[in-house]
Amino acid sequence: MYAPGEFTHQRGVLHWRQLYYNRSMPYPCDDIERYREYHRVVDNNNNAYEKFDKMDIKFIGEWLAPAVEFTKKHPDKILWCGEFGTIRHADIKSRENWMRDVITILKKNDIPYSVWNYLSTPNVGNRFSLVDDDTRIILSEEMLQIINGNV
């Protein structure tokens, strides 16, 4: 789960869209035009996010709605969110905010989860690591609390 990708993969080097756009994206963001501009520039899409006036937990909730609906229709099944996270190019406060919103929705709907990823090697093009490369100390104590479900 990496929505919105223009936030979670911002300024990454392995996806041409983020590499081409190469701008910082905050989360949450009251300026939805910032997100719409991404799609105008990279996809020539002038209709992105038409029903949203900002990028926040409401968007994440709608993105995850099909998964939540599946769990309601199939109570005998366990749906697991096995991968989600944010690139280290995103500022830490935005990373914490996004992670908090995703985990809030997953917990509310009894969907177990696993965060991506503990450590990326320094030469990896898209680094999503949660710890410092050298010390292996978590980049944010707040992030640790959020990942542990304290949202």
Ordered per-residue pLDDT tens for the chain, 151 residues? 999 999 999 998 888 898 899 999 999 999 999 999 999 999 999 999 999 999 999 999 999 999 999 999 999 999 999 999 999 999 999 999 999 999 999 999 999 999 988 888 766 767 889 998 889 999 999 999 999 999 9
Token code pair at residue 133: 């490369």
100 vs 123: CA distance, rounded Å:
28
- What's the confidence (pLDDT) of residue 121? 74
Select from 13, 40, 15, 36 the least CA-distant residue to 25: 36
Token code pair at residue 91: 């500022």
The full set of domains in the chain, from first to last, is 5-147 (3.20.20.80)
Token code pair at residue 98: 């996004």
- What's the confidence (pLDDT) of residue 141? 96
50 vs 5: CA distance, rounded Å:
17
- What's the confidence (pLDDT) of residue 120? 80
- What's the confidence (pLDDT) of residue 127? 85
- What's the confidence (pLDDT) of residue 126? 72
Q: DSSP assignment, residue 94?
A: H
- What's the confidence (pLDDT) of residue 13? 85
